[in-house]
Amino acid sequence: MNFAVLQFPGTNREQDAVHILKNVLGHSANLVWHKQESLGNVDAVIVPGGFSYGDYLRTGAVARFSPIMQDVQRFAASGGHVLGICNGFQILCEAGLLPGALVRNKSLQFRCEHVFLKTATRNSPFTAKIPEGTLMRVPIAHGEGCYFADEKTLNDLKVKDQILWQYSDAKGGLTETANPNGSLWNIAGVLNESRNVAGLMPHPENASEPLLGSADGRAVFESLVHSLANRANFQPA
């Protein structure tokens, strides 16, 4: 597989994403500078974490207008797989590729800690290989991870099975104390309606090797790779 990992001024987890894809899973992953107009021939796009444009104005607000984002829109519209992590999730929401928005953590502080994620649906390219009934222990690291969408949108997400992950406690309970940032319905990640674009606030790329304390996050990337490989009329890039 060939992955594009976007790089905006201020992105800081692009190497983390390249590392998991290339060195841990053995695929090809290339950095794509935000000023480029074309993604090239890729199987999937990762929009990584960081503070693109210093989070000025609103997080992700400026990055979504970068030249490369036009091609990302085209890629997504034609069914291409896009995964936004943390700042990437924020950029995809600003770009209208995902519903809802991310606002400041309820605690008003940056939060870096491991959390448990309950996978809400296995019916997606990003969760297909996550073992049933397991919780993933992955870290968050963000100041603006509180997911918001209006009631209609939230209900839509529920009805159309677009909620991917929710913050839970060690036993799978979607409790308030398990929620690190105030996200509505403990939502940590969502899918778009056509099920090819996803975003999540936690960092599965920082939980993909046992040496790092947890390898639970690896399943997210493995799901994506598996789904790409099994697409109808698949042509590896």
Residue found under tokens 């960092």: 203
Task: Round to whole Å and give the CA distance between 237 and 228.
Answer: 11
What's the token pair of residue 55? 């989070």
Active-site position among 14, 34, 86, 146 = 86
Query: In 10 A of CB 94, how many CB atoms?
Result: 21
Helix/strand/coil for 111 = strand
Asked if 12 touches other proteins (CB under 8 A), the answer is yes
Q: Is 86 a catalytic residue?
A: yes
Least distance (Å) between residue 166 CB and other proteins:
13
Give the N- to C-terminal CA distance of the chain in Å, as an integer: 7
Of residues 204-223, which lie at the interface with other proteins (CB under 8 A)? 205-206, 211-213
What's the token pair of residue 228? 């790409």
Asked if 67 touches other proteins (CB under 8 A), the answer is no
Q: Is 113 a catalytic residue?
A: no
Of residues 82-121, which lie at the interface with other proteins (CB under 8 A)? 93-94, 100-101, 103-116
Beta strands in 37-134 (DSSP E): 44-47, 81-85, 101-103, 111-119
Name the residues that contact other proteins, by CB under 8 A.
9-10, 12-13, 15-16, 18-20, 23, 49-51, 53-58, 61-62, 65, 93-94, 100-101, 103-116, 137, 139, 141, 143, 146, 148-150, 169-170, 177-178, 180, 182, 203, 205-206, 211-213
